[in-house]
Amino acid sequence: MASNQSAPWVGAGQVLRNPRIWVMPSVIVGLLAFLLSMLYMGGIINPRADLHRLPIGLVDADRGAPAGTAENLGARITKGIAAAPDPGDTVSWRILDEASVRQQMASGKLYGAIVVPAGFTASVAALGAPAPAAPTHPTVTVLTNPGVGSLASSLASAIAQQAVHAASLQLGAALTGAPPTGPGQVTTATRLLLADPIAVTVAVGHPIGPHSGLGLTAFYYTLLLVLAGFLGGNIIGNGVDVALGYMASEIGPLRTERPLVHITRTHQLAVKCAMSAVLSMLTTTLIMLATIGILDMDAAHLPLLWVFSVCATTAVGLGVQAINAAFGEIGQLVSLFVFIVLALPSSGATIPLQALPHFYRVLSVFEPMRQLSDGVRAILYFDARADAGLTRAWLGIAFGIVAGLAFGFAMTTYYDRRQLHRIAPGIE
């Protein structure tokens, strides 16, 4: 320590002229900026072009077939939409009955649906018949599902409306080419109506509460859980290192160093993991107090939401502790990429996975935020249904906790056996 105190003082200019001080920050900051730009912007540039098998239901509730035909117009329209050319395989049309559509919407498996109502064939047949009143459009309903996210629901709604419009034009071409069914001339209004006969009404298929952020509260709540686990893990890790004398504490101009406590890496990790698990109960309670108690976010199944949130925050915190124990100071950067940088764009919470490039869909298989956001969405919007993603979320949490603990303690045990103990600054 005496040699350090007698060393000459240097100025900022002398430090900045040393090229070695620029190398590492320049490489890390440059790579971080480039990778962040590629990862975050790469998934949102053109969701339409990346669409792949967006799930939309088709319901034929029509009854009765025109004379001389084997099926009604509703069946022809739904089958025609499902069989329409789709070179990019952008939509996964699912022909279902109305009860199945409602059930799959209630579990988040359908992003929208087209419903051809009962009496549709009869309403189309009445277009050419003489009537004292002005003719009216036969109607098809497009159902939305805001619980899957505002963008996912709007994409499904737009695609469904386009499909109905295309079917309307095809039906109109057949109607205008057919001879009149009644006496007298067809009016101009009727001709225009026959050319594009189907009107579209949009309705909510599975409603969510008004304080649900248009389906985005699940994403932001999940983000709070991940940030609580990530930031909490790093804060706990640094706090324990300061308390054990392995790191100095600097608050403003005050610098303090505590006496070194000799403890193995494995026991240090055990302390940090235990604190992360216990404090996750505090952070979860405060998150729910702020979001639900004060901000009045719509939420049901509060005990389940609390338990799920505690486990989710704990899983992230334990993962952070394991990565930091294995990689040292650079572990914070590694965990940043694992839990934040790669997790956010591949979560499917803001942009549906079906509208993301293939790379992000692969990431979503193991990135924790996708699993957690599915679980939160199931609890908040889909009545905590297991098939709405809650079961997969619980399995993801369990796997994350086990994998994090196994990896972290395996690495610290290896370091301890090799006697690669942590040495505090100035300690030889």
pLDDT classification of 293: cutoffs 50, 70, 90: very high
pLDDT classification of 1: cutoffs 50, 70, 90: very low
Report the pLDDT value the prediction gives residue 252, as an integer from 0 to 100: 86
With pLDDT > 90 as the criterion, what percentage of the chain qualifies? 70
Report the pLDDT value the prediction gives residue 421, as an integer from 0 to 100: 85
Report the pLDDT value the prediction gives residue 188, as an integer from 0 to 100: 61
pTM for the structure as a whole: 0.90
Q: For the segment 40-99, what is each residue's pLDDT rounded down to a tens digit?
A: 898 889 998 999 999 999 999 988 666 556 578 899 999 999 999 998 899 999 999 999
**Secondary structure string (H, E, C) spanning the chain:** CHHHHHCCCCCHHHHHCCCHHHHHHHHHHHHHHHHHHHHHHHCCCCCCCCCCCEEEEEEECCCCCCCCCCCCHHHHHHHHHHHCCCCCCCEEEEEECHHHHHHHHHCCCCCEEEEECCCHHHHHHCCCCCCCCCCCCCEEEEEECHHHCHHHHHHHHHHHHHHHHHHHHHHHHHHHHCCCCCCCCCCHHHHHHHHCCCEEEEEECCCCCCCCHHHCHHHHHHHHHHHHHHHHHHHHHHHHHHHCCCCCEEECCEEECCCCCCCCHHHHHHHHHHHHHHHHHHHHHHHHHHHHHHCCCCCCCHHHHHHHHHHHHHHHHHHHHHHHHHHHHHHHHHHHHHHHHCCCCCCCCCCCHHHCCHHHHHHCCCCHHHHHHHHHHHHHHCCCCHHHCHHHHHHHHHHHHHHHHHHHHHHHHHHHHCCCCCCCCCCC
Report the pLDDT value the prediction gives residue 428, as an integer from 0 to 100: 46
- What mean pLDDT is reported for the chain? 89
pLDDT at 296 over 90: yes
Q: Look at 134-148, 296-310, 349-363, 390-404 and tell me which has the smallest mean pLDDT.
A: 134-148
